[in-house]
């Protein structure tokens, strides 16, 4: 005779993307381990549904007083210590690693490498996780000599305070927001004030709420915590507590695995001149290394079609012709200042290597062309 199903109450905020991912992780654990659980998700009146165990997030912290009195296993997802009941010793906790999130934000700064000021914007409640993110972010960017400021969420002050602070920073400014909702509001404030994103202010959020991120203007770069794994670990811990009465609760190691999703709010926007300058800088530094048009385009970080279009627009010539021009100028200098042979000059300019010299009298047409121009 099969055992009766075990009722599990999941008090999760399933409106946002994080709650749905947590729920996905919980369900994955249940299916992988063939658990005979009946799950009740965010019931309107959970007190009327007896449960053998609970998984609860911070949005439902008000339920703790009631469900703790039931003396059944409870796993709290990302709940602050101050919100846990005094009987917190009987509650296991699972949390996202906020230090890792701060590290990813700081690493993104290094990738972009163009900021003179850093700003962190808290969530409206200045939550524990927001404080942890700000504290770790501040430590990571300390000692760089870059101006730093931490601000309350605009809802706690005003958009004017935010914009005044941003305008008072040395630009460009990197703004790290506690979450995507906060970042979306910052983007709206910048747009209203005519602040260009990302040219003047780059903005990054946390949660990767795709509805907000993809429909912000511009689209929002965000750090995506591994909420699915968080839910999985919560179900695993609840299963452990249910498997034997009296088992002590755990403080699960912080859930890592966050990742960066880059969108337009931090993606550099280059002018035609800047795109071409990146290509010319690469050509001038590498023309003697046998570079090709493809390698120049790769350094410009745009499509080949756009790269060629911008070269014609700005310089009135092609990328290939610009490479040849750089080599010719170098060859002319060598002819005037050295006693090198033509083959040696060709090799030094990137038009020949020690293993690829042609037989005497059979120089490739391309080499003859540019040597004639150099002469």
User: Tell me: the pLDDT tens digits for 285-329?
Assistant: 888 888 899 999 988 877 888 899 989 999 999 999 999 898 888
Could you say which of 1.10.10.10, 1.10.10.60, 1.10.1380.10, 3.40.50.2300 is the CATH number of the domain covering 6-96+228-258?
Answer: 3.40.50.2300
Reported confidence tier of residue 332, pLDDT bands at 50, 70, 90 = confident
Domain locations in the chain as residue ranges: 6-96+228-258, 98-224, 272-374
For 98-224, give the CATH class.
alpha beta
Q: Is 281 helix (H, G, I), strand (E, B) or coil?
A: helix
Task: Provide mean pLDDT across the span 63-78.
Answer: 82
pTM, entire model? 0.70
Cα 294 to Cα 304: distance, rounded to the nearest angstrom:
8
Per-residue pLDDT tens over the stretch 83-112: 777 655 578 889 999 999 999 999 999 888
Tell me whether strands 259-261 and 37-41 are parallel, antiparallel or unpaired: unpaired
Question: Which candidate, 192, 352, 200, places its Cα nearest to that of 265?
Answer: 200
The class of domain 272-374 in CATH terms is: mainly alpha
For residue range 183-229, list pLDDT tens digits in order: 998 998 888 888 889 988 999 999 999 989 999 989 999 999 999 99
Number of H helices, E strands in the chain: 14, 11
Rounded CA-CA distance 57/15 in Å is 13
Any residues with CB less than 8 A from the CB of 55 and at least 6 apart, and which?
8, 9, 10, 11, 12, 26, 74, 75, 77, 231, 234, 235, 238
Examine domains 6-96+228-258 and 272-374 and report if their fold is the same: no
What pLDDT shows up at residue 287? 84
Binned at pLDDT 50, 70 and 90, residue 345 comes out as confident
pLDDT in tens, 115-165: 888 999 999 888 889 999 999 999 999 877 888 989 887 765 566 777 777
Give the integer Cα–Cα distance in Å for 311 and 252: 56
Alpha helix positions (H), the chain = 17-32, 64-68, 98-112, 128-141, 159-168, 180-193, 210-215, 227-243, 272-286, 293-300, 304-315, 319-337, 342-348, 365-374
pLDDT higher than threshold 90 for residue 79: no
């Amino acid at each position: 005779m099969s055992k009766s199903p075990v009722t599990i109450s999941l008090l999760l905020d399933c409106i946002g993307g994080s709650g749905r991912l947590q729920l996905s992780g919980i369900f994955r654990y249940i299916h992988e381990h063939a658990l005979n659980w009946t799950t009740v998700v965010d019931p309107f009146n959970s007190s009327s549904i007896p449960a053998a165990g609970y998984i609860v997030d911070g949005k439902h912290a008000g339920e703790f007083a009631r469900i703790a009195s039931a003396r059944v296993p409870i796993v709290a997802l990302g709940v602050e210590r101050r919100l846990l009941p005094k009987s917190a010793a009987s509650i296991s906790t699972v949390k996202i690693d906020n230090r890792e999130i701060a590290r990813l934000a700081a690493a993104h700064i290094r990738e972009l490498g163009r900021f003179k000021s850093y700003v962190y914007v808290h969530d409206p409640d200045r939550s524990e996780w927001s404080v942890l993110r700000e504290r770790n972010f501040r430590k990571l960017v300390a000692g760089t000599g870059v101006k730093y400021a931490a601000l309350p969420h605009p809802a706690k002050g005003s958009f004017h305070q935010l914009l005044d602070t941003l305008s008072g920073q040395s630009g460009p400014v990197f703004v790290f927001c506690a979450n995507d909702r906060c970042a979306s509001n910052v983007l709206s404030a910048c747009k209203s004030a005519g602040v260009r994103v990302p040219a003047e202010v780059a903005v990054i959020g946390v949660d990767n709420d795709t509805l907000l991120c993809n429909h912000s203007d511009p689209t929002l770069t965000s750090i995506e915590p591994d909420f699915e794994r968080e839910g999985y670990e919560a179900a695993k811990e609840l299963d452990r507590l249910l498997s034997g009465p009296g088992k002590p609760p755990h403080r699960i190691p912080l859930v890592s695995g966050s990742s960066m999703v880059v969108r337009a709010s931090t993606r550099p926007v280059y002018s035609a001149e800047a795109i071409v300058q990146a290509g010319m800088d690469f050509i001038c530094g590498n023309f003697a290394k046998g570079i090709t048009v493809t390698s120049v385009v790769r350094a410009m970080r745009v499509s080949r079609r756009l790269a060629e279009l911008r070269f014609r627009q700005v310089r009135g010539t092609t990328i290939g012709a610009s490479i040849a021009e750089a080599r010719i100028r170098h060859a002319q200098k060598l002819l005037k200042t050295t006693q090198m042979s033509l083959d040696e000059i060709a090799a030094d300019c990137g038009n020949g290597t020690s293993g690829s010299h042609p037989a005497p009298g059979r120089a490739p047409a391309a080499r003859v062309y540019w040597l004639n121009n150099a002469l």
